A and B are shown apart, each in its own frame.
Chain A
Amino acid sequence: MLLIAAGIGVLAVIVSLLLGPKKPSRAKLMPYESGNDPAGGDARQRFPVHFYLVAMLFIVFDIETAFFYPIAVAYQKLGTFAFWETVSFVALVLVGYFYVLKKGVLEWA
């Protein structure tokens, strides 16, 4: 399926490469900044640190979710034991969540 999907995409691009006109000009190829000349050099400078933070949070919490899945699937076989497991697990996660909350990582603007 992946191959097919990718194939379609590639195909489309190639076709347009073959068929599309090529009339480059400086103005066209200039990064778009509402028509002004690009200000302040390279765009790929440091981003706001917030984005890093969110990324890290995501990693951590996503792993937590990943841990959840096996428990969830096997849950009914495990019974109450699993429930308390889950509770303690979530409790720990919430500690981290609380910390993040207090640190104001989730406060934007």
Chain B
Amino acid sequence: MVSTNSYIILSGLLFAIGMFGVLTRRTAVMVFLSVELMLNAANLSLVAFARAWGDLTAQTAVFIVMTLAAAEVAIGLAIIVTIFRKRETTNVDALAAMKG
């Protein structure tokens, strides 16, 4: 039986990694993956807390979040593909049609 804390620590680590990825990675896809990582970290901690508190509401939340992640994948990939097919790069810095 693993203690809740370790779950939380793990999810915290995942989240931190994701955050780091978002801040450092430059290609849209990688940023995007990092975001997904963060989402899953949230899921993990939600489930862990749900077990700690012993009620199921949070698990429904997890379901929602999964859906949400899926929707984000769909839309995000759509946008990224649209841009990628127009120009070769998805490097965020290279997207400078407008001055930031």
Contact = CB atoms under 8 A, between A and B. Distances in A.
Say whether A and B bind each other: yes
Interface of A: 46, 49, 52, 55-56, 59-60, 62-63, 66-67, 70
Given A55-B77, A56-B73, A63-B66, 5 more contacts: A46-B84, A49-B85, A52-B77, A60-B71, A62-B70
Please report whether the interface of chain B is mostly helix, strand, loop or mixed according to DSSP. Answer: helix
A56 B73 CA distance: 8
Contacts of A56: 73-74, 77-78
8 contacts: A46-B84, A49-B85, A52-B77, A52-B81, A59-B70, A60-B71, A63-B66, A63-B67
B16 to A, nearest CB: 27
Contacts of A49: 81, 85
A63 B78 CA distance: 17
Q: Tell me which of B70, B73, B81, B84 has the highest count of chain A C-beta atoms within 10 A of its own C-beta.
A: B70
A88 B38 CA distance: 32
B69 to A, nearest CB: 9
Interface string B26-70: 000000000000000000000000000000000000010011001
Given A52-B77, A56-B77, A56-B78, A46 B70 contact: no
A87 B94 CA distance: 47
A42 B66 CA distance: 35
Interface string B72-100: 01100110010011000000000000000
A52 B81 CA distance: 8
Contacts of B78: 52, 56
A30 B84 CA distance: 29
